[in-house]
Structure 1
Amino acid sequence: MSQHILVLGGARSGKTTLAERLAMRMGASPAYLATAEALDDEMAERVASHQRQREGRFTTIEEPMELAQTIFAATQNHDVVLVDCLTLWITNLLSMERDVADEVEDLVDMLAAIESTRIILVSNEVGMGIVPDHPLGRTFRDLAGAAHQRLAETCAHVYLVVAGIPMVVKGTAPDL
C-alpha cells in the first residue's frame, strides 16, 4: 500500500491547512497542484489569495482536468505533491461531460505506481448534509462519495478535519 494521504473535510474546516503542514514536514521540494479555475471575479480573488499564502513554500502547478498525468509529471521533480481539491476536479470533469469514474480509476492506478513521492489529496466531504434537491447535485454528491471511497482504499492515511481538528479515519495520526 502507498503512503499517500487523503484529507477530507467540509468547507473552511482546515483541511487544506492540515495538508499544507503535512507537505511542508514531509518534503524538501513540495508541489501544490491546484484544480481550481478562476472563472469569475470572486474565484479569481480566492485563487490569488491562496497563491499569496503559499508563495515561496510550494511550486504551484495549475491543472483543472488531467490530474493523473499532471501528478505523475510532478513526481519527477518533487518529493511531495499536494492536490487541492478533488471536488473541484470532479466538477470540472462533469462540466466537460467526462466519465468521472474512469478518471478516478486512472488516478488510483497512477497512485499505486508511485512509491517515491508522497501524494496528499484534499477533498470536500459533501455527503454529510441534506440530499440535494436537483439531479445534478445528487449525481455530484454520489460521484464524490464513490471517489472518496475508492481513494481511501488506495491511501495509507485518511483524515477527516472538523473545526481545524484532524481525526484519523485510517492509518496513524499526522505528525504536526
Structure 2
Amino acid sequence: MSKVILVTGPARSGKSEWAEDLAIQSGKPVTYVATAMEYPDDQEWQERIEKHKQRRPQDWLTVSAPIELTAIVSKAQPDSLILVDSLGTWVANFLDKDDLEWEKTSVDLLTVLPLAEADLVFVAEETGWGVVPAYPVGRKFRDRLGTLVRRLSAVCNTVYLVTGGYALDLSVLGVSLPSIKS
C-alpha cells in the first residue's frame, strides 16, 4: 500500500522545500507534478516557477498537470513517488467550474488515492488563516481549498504543518477531527 503525505502551511513557510526533502529521503524515483498554469506575460509568476525548477534534482521527471492531476495519480508506477505542488494552484484552475463539477473533480481525486501504487506527497497552502475574502471568487477558492485539504488529510498517513521554517508532524502531535464529506 502506498503512503500519502500532506505538507501544508502558509506562503513562504518552506512547505515545498520540506516536501522535496521528503521525496529525496524516500530514495524512490520522483515525478514532480506541477499544477500551475504558465503565463508567459506574467514575468513575476514565471520567475516563481523557475525558482521551483532550479531547486529540483535533475533526475526528477517533471509533469505539468494544471487539470489532469487525478489521471496522473491513478497511473503512477509502483516503487515511485509523486510530488504534487500544489493543491492551491490546482484548485484555482477550477474556479470557473460550478460546485457540482468541482465536487466531482475533488471526489475523483480522493477516490484514486487509496488505489495509487506510488507514494504521494501533496503540497497545499493554508488560506483560511486571515480575514474572509470580500469578493465571491476569493471565498470560493478559500472554501474549496480548505475543504479539500481537510478531506485529503483524513486519508493521509502523515500530515505536516510547515510554518516559520519548521515542519510539525500533525499526525503525531495533533488529534484528528472527524472527517467531512463536503
Q: Give me the TM-score of the superposition, normalised by structure 2.
A: 0.86
| Cα distance change on mapping 1:107 and 1:21 into 2, 3 Å | same
- What aligned pairs does 1:96-175 form with structure 2 within 5 A after superposition? 99-114=101-116, 116-171=117-172
**2:2 & 2:154 partners in 1: Cα distance?**
10
Which residue of structure 1 aligns with residue 6 of structure 2? 6
Instruction: Please say if residues 9 and 162 of structure 1, whose CA atoms lie closer than 8 Å, have aligned partners that are also in contact.
Output: yes
Q: CA deviation at 1:3?
A: 2.0
Instruction: Please say if residues 101 and 147 of structure 1, whose CA atoms lie closer than 8 Å, have aligned partners that are also in contact.
Output: no
Q: Give me the TM-score of the superposition, normalised by structure 1.
A: 0.89
Which residue of structure 2 aligns with residue 51 of structure 1? 53
Which residue of structure 2 aligns with residue 37 of structure 1? 37
**1:129 & 1:101 partners in 2: Cα distance?**
24
**2:141 & 2:88 partners in 1: Cα distance?**
9
Which residue of structure 1 aligns with residue 96 of structure 2? 95
Q: Does residue 1:23 correspond to 2:15, yes or no?
A: no
Give the fraction of aligned pairs with identical amino acids, expressed as a percent. 36
User: RMSD value over aligned CA atoms?
Assistant: 1.9
Which residue of structure 2 aligns with residue 63 of structure 1? 65
AA of the residue aligned to 1:66: E
Query: What do the CA deviations read for 1:21-48 (whole angstroms, capped 9, x no partner)?
Result: 0001113311100001121222122212
| Cα distance change on mapping 1:60 and 1:77 into 2, 3 Å | farther
Instruction: Please say if residues 30 and 82 of structure 1, whose CA atoms lie closer than 8 Å, have aligned partners that are also in contact.
Output: yes
Stretches of structure 1 that go unaligned for 5 or more consecutive residues are none
Q: Following TM superposition, where does structure 1 have runs of at least 4 consecutive aligned residues deviating by more than 6 angstroms?
A: none
Instruction: Please say if residues 78 and 118 of structure 2, whose CA atoms lie closer than 8 Å, have aligned partners that are also in contact.
Output: no
AA of the residue aligned to 1:81: I
Instruction: Please say if residues 30 and 78 of structure 1, whose CA atoms lie closer than 8 Å, have aligned partners that are also in contact.
Output: no
- Partner of 2:167, secondary structure, is strand
Query: What do the CA deviations read for 1:120-158 (whole angstroms, capped 9, x no partner)?
Result: 000101111111111111111111111011101111111
Q: CA deviation at 1:77?
A: 7.0
**1:97 & 1:42 partners in 2: Cα distance?**
29
Stretches of structure 2 that go unaligned for 5 or more consecutive residues are 174-182
**2:58 & 2:127 partners in 1: Cα distance?**
31
- Partner of 2:94, secondary structure, is helix
**2:129 & 2:148 partners in 1: Cα distance?**
15
AA of the residue aligned to 1:26: S
Instruction: Please say if residues 9 and 123 of structure 1, whose CA atoms lie closer than 8 Å, have aligned partners that are also in contact.
Output: yes
**1:53 & 1:93 partners in 2: Cα distance?**
27
Q: CA deviation at 1:78?
A: 6.2
Q: CA deviation at 1:104?
A: 1.4
AA of the residue aligned to 1:161: V
Tell me the number of residue pairs that the alignment of Structure 1 and Structure 2 aligns: 170
